[in-house]
Amino acid sequence: MQKIGFGLIILGAIGILGLIIWGIAEESSGEVPLFVWLVIGSIVLGVIVLLVAAIRDRIKQAKTENFKEVDK
């Protein structure tokens, strides 16, 4: 699951880099192309997947923790 999240973030970053290069090479008309929405969605989805993976791993780890005494 973490690999999917990192992959989506990396694809989004590559997409943004491509958009920057494309924007420099061509004059933009001011409207946002569909590709931009897909790239941003990919990054957001990647962050959500990583967040869910981290929460799930923490819940699994919490089940195996065994604290007998806590010193103050």
Instruction: Show me where the domains of the chain are located.
Output: 2-61
Digit-coded pLDDT (tens) for 49-61? 888 888 888 888 8
Q: How far is the C-alpha of 64 from the C-alpha of 72, rounded, in Å?
A: 23
Contacts of 44 (CB under 8 A, 6+ apart): none
Residue-level pLDDT at 15: 83
Please give the distance of CA 59 from its chain centroid, rounded to a whole number. Answer: 20
Residue-level pLDDT at 10: 86
Digit-coded pLDDT (tens) for 13-58? 888 888 777 776 676 566 767 777 788 888 888 888 888 888 888 8
